[in-house]
């Protein structure tokens, strides 16, 4: 199937893109890498009248460290994130997660802004943003809004972006020396969307978590920052403590059922990932659970 007829405009600047968005609103769609937009148009899941191509806007591309913050431009491609030494040093969770986003052809074109704006609940990067405590920066005619990642994803393919706004960058805190991270996903084949996945960022004092952000993906209509992680912070993690956190996780998740997995299988896999995550972060094989 081919996309229905549409008009095309190449934005000459961010201001030009915002003008076009203000004029055309919901009948327009922004084109970044096209890795999600073009398939959706070809399947006629969406039929925009106007495509606004922002792909040439160099000001939206690149990775910059300022103090304790890494700013990543919306048009930074997955492949650039994967190869970036700044990211590997200061946000290694992202380096590891990106390798699971599709295949090289997808990563060569796809962008972080496109991935976050698309908001697929099974995507890796939205969950990483939650785990890292990122801020998502969007711009409209009235200026910029800074949105905490927790508040950005509002449903399946839904975000806090309005049709008149452009996602311009994300800001990620630089990881501290006392921190650790964990990423894992269950997928049928490497490169497929996850059946269940987890991205976590932690801070440790001795063998105790002083902060623990565990974000699950593919377990509901949006990535979920596990409230159950609070049960593991500030206390020695015994099997009983982990078991209580696992039970709380099972209660708070609301996984969907589809052709890939039942809700109960997803809930089970999430608990397995929780145990593996905590075990790996603490260097405690006795907590891994040994399941799945």
Ligand X SMILES: Cc1cc2nc3c(=O)[nH]c(=O)nc-3n(C[C@H](O)[C@H](O)[C@H](O)COP(=O)(O)OP(=O)(O)OC[C@H]3O[C@@H](n4cnc5c(N)ncnc54)[C@H](O)[C@@H]3O)c2cc1C
As beta bridge partners, residue 90 has none
Q: Could you say whether residue 155 binds ligand X (CB under 6 A)?
A: no
Candidate residues 33, 197, 223, 255; the one interacting with ligand X per rule CB under 6 A? 33
Instruction: For residue 273, give the 3-state DSSP assignment.
Output: helix
Residues 58-87, mask of contacts with ligand X (x by CB under 6 A): ----------------x-------------
Nearer CB in complex with ligand X: 73/180: 73
Shortest Å, Cβ 128 to ligand X: 10
| Distant-in-sequence, close-in-space partners of 74: CB < 8 Å, separation ≥ 6 | 32, 60, 111, 112, 113, 114, 116, 166, 167, 168, 169, 170
Q: Could you tell me the CA-to-CA distances from 95 to 80, 109, 173 in Å, in that order?
A: 10, 17, 15
Cα angle: 153, vertex 276, 187; to 5 degrees = 60
Q: Scan residues 187-246 and list those touching ligand X (CB under 6 A).
A: 193
Number of residues engaging ligand X in binding (CB under 6 A) = 30
Output the CA torsion sign for 107, 111, 114, 117.
positive
Shortest Å, Cβ 184 to ligand X: 14
Nearest to 241 by CA among 266, 207, 269: 207
* Segment lying near ligand X (by CB under 6 A), choices 103-111, 207-215, 229-237, 240-248: 103-111
Instruction: Please state, in angstroms and rounded to a whole number, the distance separating the CA atoms of residues 102 and 284.
Output: 31
Q: What is the CA radius of gyration of the chain?
A: 19
Candidate residues 80, 96, 124, 164; the one interacting with ligand X per rule CB under 6 A? 124
Candidate residues 63, 84, 95, 110; the one interacting with ligand X per rule CB under 6 A? 110
Q: Could you say whether residue 117 binds ligand X (CB under 6 A)?
A: yes
| Count helices and strands in the chain by DSSP H and E runs | 11, 14
Q: Could you tell me the CA-to-CA distances from 192 to 64, 101, 224 in Å, in that order?
A: 30, 8, 20
- Crossing angle for the helix pair 263-282 and 239-252, to the nearest 10 degrees: 140
Candidate residues 118, 184, 271, 276; the one interacting with ligand X per rule CB under 6 A? 118
Instruction: Please state, in angstroms and rounded to a whole number, the distance separating the CA atoms of residues 18 and 164.
Output: 7
Nearer CB in complex with ligand X: 195/228: 195
Instruction: Please state, in angstroms and rounded to a whole number, the distance separating the CA atoms of residues 208 and 3.
Output: 54
Beta strand 28-31 with 50-53: parallel, antiparallel or unpaired? parallel
* Segment lying near ligand X (by CB under 6 A), choices 1-9, 25-33, 249-257, 272-280: 25-33
- Tokens, residue 117: 């704006």
Candidate residues 61, 70, 76, 113; the one interacting with ligand X per rule CB under 6 A? 113
Nearer CB in complex with ligand X: 77/203: 77
* Segment lying near ligand X (by CB under 6 A), choices 28-36, 83-91, 198-206, 248-256: 28-36
Q: Could you say whether residue 115 binds ligand X (CB under 6 A)?
A: yes
Shortest Å, Cβ 167 to ligand X: 4
Nearer CB in complex with ligand X: 40/69: 40
Residues that bind ligand X (CB under 6 A): 29-37, 39, 74, 101-102, 106, 109-111, 113-115, 117-118, 120, 123-125, 161, 166-167, 193
């Amino acid at each position: 199937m081919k996309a229905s007829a549409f008009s095309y405009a190449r934005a000459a600047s961010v201001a030009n893109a915002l003008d076009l968005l203000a004029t055309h609103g919901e009948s327009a769609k922004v084109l970044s890498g096209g890795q999600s937009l073009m398939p959706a148009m070809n399947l006629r899941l969406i039929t925009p009248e106007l495509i606004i191509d922002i792909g040439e806007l160099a000001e939206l591309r690149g990775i910059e460290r300022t103090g304790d913050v890494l700013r990543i431009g919306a048009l930074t491609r997955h492949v650039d994130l994967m190869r970036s030494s700044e990211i590997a040093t200061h946000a290694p969770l992202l380096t590891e997660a990106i390798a699971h986003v599709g295949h090289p052809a997808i990563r060569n074109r796809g962008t972080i802004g496109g991935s976050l704006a698309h908001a697929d609940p099974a995507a890796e990067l939205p969950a990483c943003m939650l785990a890292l405590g990122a801020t998502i920066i969007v711009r409209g005619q009235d200026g910029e809004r800074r949105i905490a990642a927790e508040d950005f994803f509002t449903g399946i393919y839904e975000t806090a972006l309005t049709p008149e706004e452009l996602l311009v960058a994300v800001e990620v805190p630089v990881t501290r020396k006392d921190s650790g991270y964990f990423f894992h996903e269950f997928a049928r084949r490497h490169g497929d969307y996850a059946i269940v996945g987890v991205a976590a960022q932690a801070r440790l004092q001795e063998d105790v978590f002083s902060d623990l952000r565990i974000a699950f993906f593919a377990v509901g209509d949006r990535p979920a920052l596990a409230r159950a992680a609070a049960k593991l912070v500030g206390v020695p993690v015994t099997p009983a403590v982990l078991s209580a956190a696992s039970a709380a996780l099972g209660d708070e998740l609301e996984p969907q059922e589809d052709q890939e997995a039942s809700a109960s299988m997803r809930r089970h896999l999430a608990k397995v990932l929780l145990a593996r995550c905590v075990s790996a972060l603490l260097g405690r094989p006795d907590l891994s659970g040994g399941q799945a």
